[in-house]
Amino acid sequence: MNTTWESDSFNTVYSIPSRNGIYKSKEFHGTGCKVVNMGELFGYDFISSQKMKRIELTDIEKGKYSIIDGDLLFARRSVVEEGSGKCSLVVNPNELTVFESSIIRVRLDHSKVYSKFYYYYFKSPQGRGSILSISTGVNVKGIRGSELCNLAVPLPPLPTQRKIAGILSAYDDLIQNNTRRIAILEEMAQRIYKEWFVDFKYPGHENDKLVDSELGMIPEGWEIGNISDLYTVKSGFAFRSNNMNNSGDYGIVKIKNIQSNYVDLNNIQYIARETVDQRAWNFKLSIGDLLIAMTGAQVGKVGIMLKAKGEYLLNQRVGKFFPIYGFNTTNQFIYQITKSVEFQTTIYNVAQGAAQPNISGQDIGNIKIILPRIELIGEFETLCNPLINEIILLDYQNNTLRQSRDLLLPKLISGKVDVSELDIDIGAES
């Protein structure tokens, strides 16, 4: 910590005592106020207007458990240590919102400190180390509000807090803007897929009539087949865990890396080139590869491999779709199929038949689908290519921005980079 900055217990900058969230039995769920659950806390760094579950509360409960702009929310418990005490910042919620019992709310005195600075502090290695010092438990890690309040935190001058937060916010604002653009591009591809292959309003559909099939009415000339008519799905290579390290020549993509429709390359382990078995080269990953989790709680989850620095290989129990035809440059057609309710329901039903949720490449290949004309699938892929290419570019920019922000974060938070003389617009004091 910068020795020129004072420090004190965290609760000296509270405006009111911290509070754990509310628990309500099931009969109160479904309508009423939006409620922040652990899913939102772990899924978003900034809690705002996301879709959430709802619960019925009394007026007194609403007053006690509501959240407002600038509140910090901390995870009280987590099944993994890195999730214990995870901090999110409340940003202008668009309606009355409360928080559930596994979350601690901290409301700071804005005349003394700037909430966003402390959000970034608790994301920094220094802040995370402080949180982990009070994290306890074996199977479930957790923190207590009574210990959180006593943590020593830095107290730089308020203008300095706002400047540091402003610098780091600039990165997050760019990331959020790119993320919104990615969501729009994804929606565009999904709409085209639905229009062509669900509503059957593809180019030239006016000249085709619909005929009956075992999956309902389909255009004449289309067929009912299986995924195996277009793709084979093969599980990755069984790398030895004792060959994996925190650095190396090739990153190993595992089930945990299949996240939110894309492959998340954070928390990757690596393997040295000399330990790679010759058979593993069949599972070298490229941009646009479609992967699927084949076992465990994430079974059926799919993710597209995007642009990344370095080279990556696929671990066992993660499947890769290998196209039979040459038109599948970005796998957008099969990607849209795998996201459908029908596909995911079939995967769930098959996987639950085992002691542990589990599917094979053959199980996936046997799933029945409507087979359009091959030429039409190729046209769809060509139409979607610019969309997925833009998504790949934006995602790569986001990864670069995150890396730059995360390198700068500890230097700013510790005071190693002095911002006091920088001419930064810090907005109105609040």
pLDDT tens column, 140-149: 889 999 999 9
| Residues 66-84 pLDDT 10s | 999 999 999 998 877 778 8
CA–CA distance, 318 with 233 (Å, rounded to integer): 10
The pTM score is: 0.85
Helices (H), 57-144: 59-65, 115-121, 125-132
pLDDT at 98 over 90: yes
pLDDT at 216 over 60: yes
- Whether 378 maps to a domain, the answer reads no
Residue 74 backbone zone (phi > 0: left; psi -120 to 50: alpha; other: beta): beta
Strand duo 311-314 + 250-253: pairing: parallel
Q: Which two tokens stand for residue 37?
A: 């659950």
- Whether 415 maps to a domain, the answer reads no
pLDDT band at 327 (very low <50, low <70, confident <90, very high): low
Where is the domain boundary, 113, 138, 155?
A: 155
* Backbone CA torsion sign across 307, 174, 390, 259: positive
Helices (H) and strands (E) in the chain, counts: 10, 26
CA–CA distance, 65 with 19 (Å, rounded to integer): 8
- Whether 198 maps to a domain, the answer reads no
Of 172, 154, 166, the C-alpha closest to 419 is: 166
* One domain for residues 261 and 342: yes
- Whether 236 maps to a domain, the answer reads yes
* One domain for residues 229 and 350: yes
* One domain for residues 227 and 330: yes
Where is the domain boundary, 356, 371, 386?
A: 371
CA–CA distance, 90 with 426 (Å, rounded to integer): 19
- Whether 184 maps to a domain, the answer reads no
b/e for 103-120, b at 16 or more Cβ within 10 A? bbbbbbeeeebbbbbbbb
CA–CA distance, 264 with 257 (Å, rounded to integer): 5
Q: Which two tokens stand for residue 170?
A: 């600039």
Contacts of residue 77, defined as CB under 8 A and 6 or more positions apart, other chains included, come to 84, 102, 137, 140, 141, 142
| Residues 328-360 pLDDT 10s | 667 999 999 999 999 999 999 999 876 788 999
* One domain for residues 12 and 92: yes
- Whether 57 maps to a domain, the answer reads yes
Question: Range with the lowest mean pLDDT among 170-179, 226-235, 253-262?
Answer: 253-262
Where is the domain boundary, 97, 120, 155?
A: 155
- Domain ranges, residue 27: 6-155
Helices (H), 88-227: 115-121, 125-132, 145-148, 158-197
- Whether 381 maps to a domain, the answer reads no
pLDDT at 424 over 80: no
* One domain for residues 232 and 345: yes
Q: Tell me which of 330 and 48 has the higher pLDDT.
A: 48
CA–CA distance, 6 with 76 (Å, rounded to integer): 27
* One domain for residues 358 and 248: yes
Average pLDDT of span 241-250: 92
CA–CA distance, 127 with 160 (Å, rounded to integer): 17
- Whether 182 maps to a domain, the answer reads no
Averaged pLDDT score across all residues of the chain: 92
CA–CA distance, 402 with 173 (Å, rounded to integer): 11
* One domain for residues 230 and 149: no
pLDDT at 38 over 80: yes
Residue 363 sits in a domain whose CATH number is: 3.90.220.20
Of 226, 238, 241, the C-alpha closest to 282 is: 238
pLDDT at 118 over 70: yes
* One domain for residues 261 and 140: no
Question: Range with the lowest mean pLDDT among 7-11, 81-85, 315-319?
Answer: 81-85
State how many domains the chain has. Answer: 2
* One domain for residues 145 and 242: no
Q: What are phi and psi of 169, to 5 degrees?
A: -65, -30
* One domain for residues 126 and 243: no
Burial of 176 (0-12, 13-18, 19+ CB in 10 A): middle
Give me the torsion for CA of 139, 21, 46, 38, rounded to 10°.
40
pLDDT value of position 430: 42
Which amino acid would we find at residue 167? I
pLDDT at 423 over 80: no
* One domain for residues 236 and 151: no
